[in-house]
């Protein structure tokens, strides 16, 4: 039985690509040096798979920034504002903006924390073909390994379904034109070898859009399959794709990829059994870090084999491994018991190889037998480990009596307005200020015990002093302490909660060069001590203006962690909510008037199928309400959400009952805000007035126009003015003029 990997991480085992990209953007290395790093990484990643016995190795899963962006370049779908650029200058301008043009919109890839660049389709879009990347990477891979290769592509249906329009053009009005370009591409690819395998990713068919889009499958994939020398894999992941399978069995595609970490995909086996299709069975979970119980995985394969013969089954990962850290190789400080429960991308290659051998009744060599035995032992030990279970936590959850805060919004906001006494269109930021190299170095030195606590705290206080001084100088209304003590908005809190563990090198790509290091939520959670009170109250002591307490919400902490898979998430999130509730109570008792509970990943956790949404919404809303339940009526609760389409969840957001919500709208215009107006949203809103993911500095005039446009949608009484997200990834030389211009723009608007 053959095996495969859906896709492999590209950032490098020690974030080599991140450093090269940031060096290139800063002008510290040239393009040749950047390309050299990229080539070295591609070669290493292929060798990793080759040496670990992966039969079918992916090509074109490498990217400098994002595969959707690569698709935009491949098919020439480049917005007119970037047409005067070329090469890498154009490529990175699409993602990051330029001095003359705003970047393309970026949003979450389905319900993951990975972001993709959203294609822009207009009536003037003319597709063209740029084959250089695909052809060169295939030839490069072929020179490295003798194993079979497969070329990864994002499919045309998913590409257009995830596109946006800027002139009310339906993206699918361009479908036939795009498909013809795909056919041209596939014909060129088919010349690369006697037989070329192409994995075409169509994950849009694991969403409820499948009902509208299945009609495109047969004509499109029959066309593709008619091209000689090609074997087409129609690949899906993350959820069930039953409707797509029902269509695909009547096409000429060679294979269908399904995610068998989702039980509903077993329903497809009866249909597949009556066809000639090969199944690419995603058995090893590509989205979590827990070591597979290989015996349990073999039971899944046994069930599949009841319907399909061995020669029609490929065993692999449920999705690309870019969603998990690279390797456990560097984790020498992690608790050995917890480490034994883990499996990162490289280790998952071993799991794929071993279960494909066992499923084929092949004898394991000594090393594979050792890994197999360890997997069974880890599964057994994890169930009974004393590290996981905390009776005190479980009793507190069962004894809950208060689930939400007192008072309705109308009563609360009246008290808050009197207490805060803010001007109209109050200005603030989302929370973080730049994480400079010096700041990271200080935290690292403290963590490694190179400097003592006194030195560390003095340095953090200096940074807070500078942040407060700067904000007062530009006349912001509501200040923040800048979060200099925080490495990451989830990891920082996880480090202070029981039930969490942390890696040294467990980085996962979020977008471009941006990586996150999700903590490992392995056991019952509680807050032994206050987590933020010391730093927030210090900042408040330096100013008469209100300073926001900054917390990460329970749903986001859960969604941005690698969460234990032995307990229901609806119970885990209650434990997290109680920890945040304790912190809110301590902050307000210390005199903090405004507390922001960020739920940046609230929408990200949504199931991809409507049938599962109600259950998620209930426990997510309940968790937020539980977290803020100690807040007094005159304590103002803010929340922040990232890259979300709110149209379908606006009532859910309203039910969360935050006093103020800040959202990212800078790249998407005012369309996002109209839904708040249409439903008569009662609470206050802080739309992002400029894009912090781009290095460009917006002018005062540009910001005045942006705020005026927002005021056409929502009244000033409901509005706060802020950037669209935290500023930790930006440089001070970008942040200072941008915020200064933002405040100046608000003063101009106030003077009308």
Residue positions in the annotated binding site for L-homocysteine? 430-432, 483, 598
Single out the catalytic residue among 45, 323, 481, 693: 693
Determine the 3-state secondary structure of 233 from DSSP. strand
**What span, in angstroms and rounded, lies between the C-alpha atoms of 455 and 412?**
41
Q: How far is CA 146 from CA 61, 134, 142, 229, 233, in A?
A: 18, 18, 7, 18, 21
Q: To the nearest 5 percent, what fractions of the chain are helix, strand and coil?
A: 45, 15, 40
**Which letter does DSSP use for residue 203 in this model?**
G
Residues of the binding site for L-methionine: 430-432, 483, 598
Q: What is the DSSP string of 161-199?
A: HT-EESSS--GGGGHHHHHHHHHHHHHHHGGGSSSEEEE
**What span, in angstroms and rounded, lies between the C-alpha atoms of 348 and 229?**
31
Contact 724, 664 (CB under 8 A): yes
**What span, in angstroms and rounded, lies between the C-alpha atoms of 446 and 6?**
40
Specify whether 481 is catalytic.
Answer: no
**What span, in angstroms and rounded, lies between the C-alpha atoms of 609 and 265?**
13
CA geometry: angle at 165 spanning 162 and 169, to 5°?
Answer: 115
**Which letter does DSSP use for residue 127 in this model?**
-
Contact 573, 558 (CB under 8 A): yes
Q: What is the DSSP string of 334-351?
A: S-HHHHTTB--HHHHHHH
In the beta sheet, which residues pair with residue 360?
none
Token output for 548: 């926001």
Residues of the binding site for Zn(2+): 640, 642, 664, 725
Q: In what order do the strands lie in the sheet with 562-563?
A: 498-501, 520-526, 562-563
**What span, in angstroms and rounded, lies between the C-alpha atoms of 531 and 533?**
6
Token output for 22: 């940031």
**What span, in angstroms and rounded, lies between the C-alpha atoms of 430 and 686?**
9
**What span, in angstroms and rounded, lies between the C-alpha atoms of 121 and 202?**
19
- Exposed / middle / buried, residue 385 (Cβ in 10 Å: 0-12, 13-18, 19+): middle
Torsion angle of the four alpha carbons 442, 445, 451, 455, in this order, in degrees rounded to the nearest 10: 10
**Which letter does DSSP use for residue 722 in this model?**
B
Q: What is the DSSP string of 428-458?
A: ---SB----HHHHHHHHHHHTTSS-HHHHHH
CA quadruple 199, 204, 207, 208: dihedral positive or negative? Answer: negative
Closest to 116 in 3D by CA, of 261, 285, 323, 344: 323
**What span, in angstroms and rounded, lies between the C-alpha atoms of 427 and 444?**
33
Active-site positions read 693
């Amino acid at each position: 039985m053959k095996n495969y990997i859906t896709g492999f991480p590209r950032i490098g085992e020690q974030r080599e690509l991140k450093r090269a990209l940031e060096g290139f953007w800063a002008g510290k290395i040239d393009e040749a040096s950047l390309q050299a790093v990229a080539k070295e990484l591609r070669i290493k990643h292929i060798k990793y798979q080759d040496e670990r016995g992966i039969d079918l190795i992916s090509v074109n899963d490498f990217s400098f920034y994002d595969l959707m962006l690569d698709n935009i370049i491949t098919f020439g779908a480049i917005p007119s504002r970037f047409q005067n650029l070329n090469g890498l200058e154009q490529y990175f301008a699409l993602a990051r903006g330029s001095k003359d043009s705003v970047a393309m919109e970026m949003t979450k890839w389905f319900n993951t924390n990975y972001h993709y660049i959203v294609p822009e389709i207009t009536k003037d879009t003319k597709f063209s073909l740029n084959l250089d990347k695909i052809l060169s990477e295939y030839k490069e891979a072929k020179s490295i390994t003798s194993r079979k290769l497969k070329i990864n592509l994002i499919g045309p249906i998913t590409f257009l379904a995830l596109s946006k329009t800027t002139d009310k053009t339906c993206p699918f009005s361009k479908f036939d034109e795009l498909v013809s370009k795909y056919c041209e591409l596939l014909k060129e690819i088919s010349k690369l070898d006697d037989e070329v395998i192409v994995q075409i990713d169509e994950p849009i068919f694991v969403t409820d859009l499948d009902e509208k889009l299945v009609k495109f499958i047969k004509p499109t994939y029959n066309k593709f399959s008619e091209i000689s020398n090609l074997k087409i894999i129609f690949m899906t992941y993350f959820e069930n794709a039953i409707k797509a399978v029902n269509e695909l069995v009547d096409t000429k595609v060679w294979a269908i990829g399904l995610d068998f970490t989702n039980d509903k995909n077993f329903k497809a086996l009866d249909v597949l059994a009556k066809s000639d299709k090969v199944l690419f069975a995603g058995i090893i979970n590509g989205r979590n870090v827990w070591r597979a119980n290989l015996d349990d995985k073999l039971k899944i394969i046994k069930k599949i084999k009841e319907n399909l013969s061995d020669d029609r089954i490929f065993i692999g990962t449920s999705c690309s491994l870019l969603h998990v850290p690279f390797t456990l190789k560097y984790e020498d400080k992690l608790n050995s018991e917890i480490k034994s429960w883990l499996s990162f991308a490289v280790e998952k290659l071993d799991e794929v190889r071993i279960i494909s051998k066992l499923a084929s009744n092949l004898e394991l060599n000594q090393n594979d037998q050792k890994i197999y035995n360890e997997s069974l032992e880890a599964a057994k030990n994890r169930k009974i480990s004393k590290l996981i279970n905390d009776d005190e936590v479980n009793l507190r959850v069962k004894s809950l009596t208060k689930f939400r805060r007192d008072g309705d919004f109308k009563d609360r906001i009246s008290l808050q307005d009197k207490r805060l006494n803010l001007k109209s269109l109050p200005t603030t930021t989302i929370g973080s200020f730049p994480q400079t190299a010096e700041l990271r170095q200080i935290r690292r030195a403290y963590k490694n015990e190179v400097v003592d606590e006194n030195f560390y705290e003095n340095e953090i206080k200096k940074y807070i002093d500078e942040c407060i001084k700067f904000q007062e100088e530009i006349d912001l209304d509501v200040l923040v302490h800048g979060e200099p003590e925080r490495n990451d908005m989830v990891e920082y809190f996880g480090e202070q909660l029981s039930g969490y563990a942390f890696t040294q090198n467990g980085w996962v790509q979020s977008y471009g060069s941006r990586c996150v290091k999700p903590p490992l939520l392995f056991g019952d959670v509680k807050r032994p001590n206050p987590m933020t009170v010391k730093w927030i109250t210090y900042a408040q002591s330096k100013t008469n203006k209100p300073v926001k307490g900054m917390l990460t919400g329970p749903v986001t902490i859960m969604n941005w962690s690698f969460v234990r898979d032995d307990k229901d998430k609806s119970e885990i999130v209650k434990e997290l909510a109680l920890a945040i509730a304790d912190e809110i109570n301590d902050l307000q008792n210390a005199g903090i008037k405004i507390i922001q509970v960020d739920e940046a990943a609230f929408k990200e956790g949504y199931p991809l199928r409507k049938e599962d949404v109600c259950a998620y919404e209930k426990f997510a809303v309940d968790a937020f309400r539980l977290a803020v339940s100690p807040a007094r009526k005159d304590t103002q609760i803010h929340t922040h959400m990232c890259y979300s389409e709110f149209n379908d969840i606006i009532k859910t957001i309203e039910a969360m009952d935050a006093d103020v919500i800040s959202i990212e709208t800078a790249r998407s215009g005012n369309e996002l805000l109209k839904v708040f107006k249409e439903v008569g949203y009662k609470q206050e809103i802080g739309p992002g007035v400029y894009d912090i993911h781009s290095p460009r500095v917006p002018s005062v005039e540009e910001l005045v126009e942006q705020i005026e446009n927002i005021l056409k949608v929502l009244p000033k009484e409901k509005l706060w003015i802020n950037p669209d997200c935290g500023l930790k990834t930006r440089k001070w030389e970008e942040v200072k003029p941008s915020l200064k211009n933002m405040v100046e723009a608000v003063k101009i608007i106030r003077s009308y």
